[in-house]
Homo-oligomer: A and B are copies of this chain.
Amino acid sequence: MSVLEYISRRNPAVERTLLRLLPPGLEPRELAEASRHLIKAGGKRLRPCLTLACCEVVGGEAERALETAAAVELLHTFSLIHDDIMDHSSFRRGVKTVHRIWGEPMAILAGDALFAKVFEALSLNASRIGLEKERTAELFRVMSRASFELSRGQALDLLFSRRLSLREEEYFQMVSLKTGALMWASATSGALLGGGTPSQVRRLGEYGKNLGIAFQIQDDILGLVGEKEELGKPVGSDLTEGKHTLVVSLALRTLRGKERRRLLRTLGNPSAPQEEVEGVIALLRERGILERTRGRALEFSGRARRCLRGFRRSEALSFLEELTDFVIERRM
């Protein structure tokens, strides 16, 4: 089954669950609207589908993991809202960011409110299916560990952004916390709810983590060469915002002399002219830096795929397999 087919089949139930967790009648209205804003703006819903598929692949019905699937999307959205404040980003998913519409204080609270709902959702899930107490505690442990690692990853991102260069291992430490941890939790929680054995739970978690890193590397590439319409933000904005992406990390290690100076003129310079930004992107392409970055994405995607060995063939398994290609081939 193709990735988009699986997602479109599972999505209606995920959306209904998200809506049930954040009903429109919540008071105060501003908080409710600010919390729902980015969720309503769409997004691929990869993480919830990852949870559902991991539940299925170990033999559970996808429906068993519904609230937890919604929870990982809430956790993801919470971190996007706070991240956008910290990065002073103005657009996300093709709409204005939460703090640009409601101001920073309300955006902080909107994130906090979604974060609070994460654990309510887990608790509803565990009660509904009568999950045994050891798995219930483990489910909460997994999600709180991922939440904590998420904030560690964001903190590293923030600290690194004050530095000019970043070693590759620092980059991987950051993204395995910032992106890997939540994908790890999405997969692990699904496998736990589906009744997976400890080894299955561990392997699917590993799958999620590697998938997340591959996903993030592709995000870094798209942040430079993606189309504005598809990304919902200007081309090359990662460069002018001075984000430490793998591309930049490799470029700073590779480029010398005039080329290096060209890169440095646009890096973290929001007022760099668009043609100069595009010139730098062309340079990164010519010097093989985008290709090398893509090589690393392929490597992590391959690692993720290998974690799937030994699972019984099913539609959910095909989805997980195809997802390893999808995350590094996507254009948005």
Contacts and interface: CB of A to CB of B under 8 A. Distances in A.
Interface of A: 26-28, 30-31, 82, 85-86, 104-106, 108-113, 115-120, 122-124, 126-127, 130-134, 136-138, 140-141, 143-145, 147-148, 150-152, 154-156, 158-159
Given A148-B113, A152-B27, A152-B113, A108 B120 contact: no
- Tell me which of A112, A134, A143, A148 has the highest count of chain B C-beta atoms within 10 A of its own C-beta: A112
Contacts of A147: 112, 115-116, 119
Contacts of A152: 26-28, 31, 113
Contacts of A127: 134, 137, 141
Given A30-B159, A82-B109, A106-B155, 8 more contacts: A28-B152, A28-B159, A31-B155, A111-B112, A113-B155, A116-B144, A130-B133, A136-B136
- So how many copies of this chain end up in the complex? 2
A69 B95 CA distance: 41
Given A133-B133, A141-B123, A113 B151 contact: yes
A105 B159 CA distance: 10
Report the 9 A-B pairs with minimum CB-CB distance, sorted nearest first. A116-B147, A86-B105, A116-B148, A119-B144, A120-B144, A31-B155, A133-B133, A123-B140, A113-B151
A30 B108 contact: no
Given A28-B156, A31-B151, A140 B122 contact: yes
Contact of A116 (B82, B122, B151): B151
B122 A108 contact: no
Contact of A131 (B82, B104, B133): B133
A126 B298 CA distance: 41
Given A106-B155, A151-B109, A133 B126 contact: yes
27 contacts: A28-B155, A28-B156, A30-B155, A31-B152, A82-B112, A85-B104, A85-B108, A105-B158, A106-B155, A109-B151, A109-B155, A109-B158, A110-B151, A112-B151, A112-B154, A115-B115, A116-B144, A117-B148, A118-B144, A126-B137, A127-B134, A127-B137, A127-B141, A133-B133, A136-B136, A136-B137, A140-B140
Contact of A150 (B116, B132, B145): B116
Contacts of A143: 119
Contacts of A109: 82, 86, 151, 154-155, 158
